[in-house]
Chains A and B, each alone.
Chain A
Amino acid sequence: MTDLTDLLDRASDLGEAPMPVADDLTRARAALRSRRRRQGLVTVGSLCALGIIAGLGGPAVLDRSTEGSPRVIETEESQLFSADVTEGPYTFGKLPVGWEVQGSYPQGVTIAPVGFPDQHPASFIGKLVIMYDQNPLYGEPTEYNGREFYSRTGGDADTVRVRTRAGEPEGVVSVQYPDSAGWDVETMMEFLDAVEVGQGALPGLG
Chain B
Amino acid sequence: MRTSDRDAEFTAFVTARRARLLRAARLLAVGDEALAEDLVQTTLTKVYVAWPKVQRADDPVRYAHRMLTNAFIDETRRAYRGRERTQAQPADPANLVAEPADPTLRDTVMAALAGLAPQQRAVVVLRHWLDLDVEATAQALGCSTGTVKSTNSRALAHLRTALADLTDDLTIRSTS
Contact = CB atoms under 8 A, between A and B. Distances in A.
Interface stretch (A4-12, A84-92, A105-113, A190-198): A4-12
Interface in A1-53: 1-5, 7-21, 23-32, 35
Given A1-B171, A3-B173, A7-B163, A14 B66 contact: no
Interface stretch (A96-104, A118-126, A149-157): A149-157
A23 B26 CA distance: 19
Contacts of A23: 87
B61 interface: no
Contact of B19 (A19, A77, A150, A152): A19
Interface string B153-176: 000100100010011011111000
A24 B49 CA distance: 12
Looking at chain B's contact residues, the main secondary structure is helix
B19 A140 contact: no
Contacts of A200: none
Contact of B131 (A3, A5, A25, A27): A5
A19 B18 contact: yes
Nearest to A22: B11
Contact of A76 (B1, B22, B67, B71): B1
A24 B14 contact: yes
A14 B89 CA distance: 23
Contacts of A27: 41, 44-45, 86-87
A138 B144 CA distance: 9
Contacts of B91: 20
B97 A5 contact: no
Contacts of B169: 1-2
B142 A138 contact: yes
A179 B46 contact: yes
Contacts of B7: 25, 29
Nearest to A77: B52
A10 to B, nearest CB: 6
Given A139-B142, A184-B53, A4 B22 contact: no
A182 interface: yes
Interface in B35-58: 41, 44-50, 52-53
B70 A153 contact: yes
Nearest to B83: A156
A10 B167 contact: no
Interface string A171-205: 00000000100101000000000000000000000
Given A5-B173, A27-B45, A184-B53, A21 B109 contact: no
8 contacts: A11-B100, A13-B101, A28-B45, A29-B48, A30-B86, A76-B1, A150-B142, A154-B74
Given A8-B109, A21-B15, A156-B74, 5 more contacts: A1-B167, A4-B124, A11-B105, A19-B14, A25-B10
Give the 10 A-B CB pairs with smallest separation, nearest first: A154-B70, A28-B48, A2-B167, A11-B109, A12-B23, A15-B98, A8-B129, A14-B97, A155-B74, A11-B106
Interface of A: 1-5, 7-21, 23-32, 35, 76-77, 138-140, 150-156, 179, 182, 184
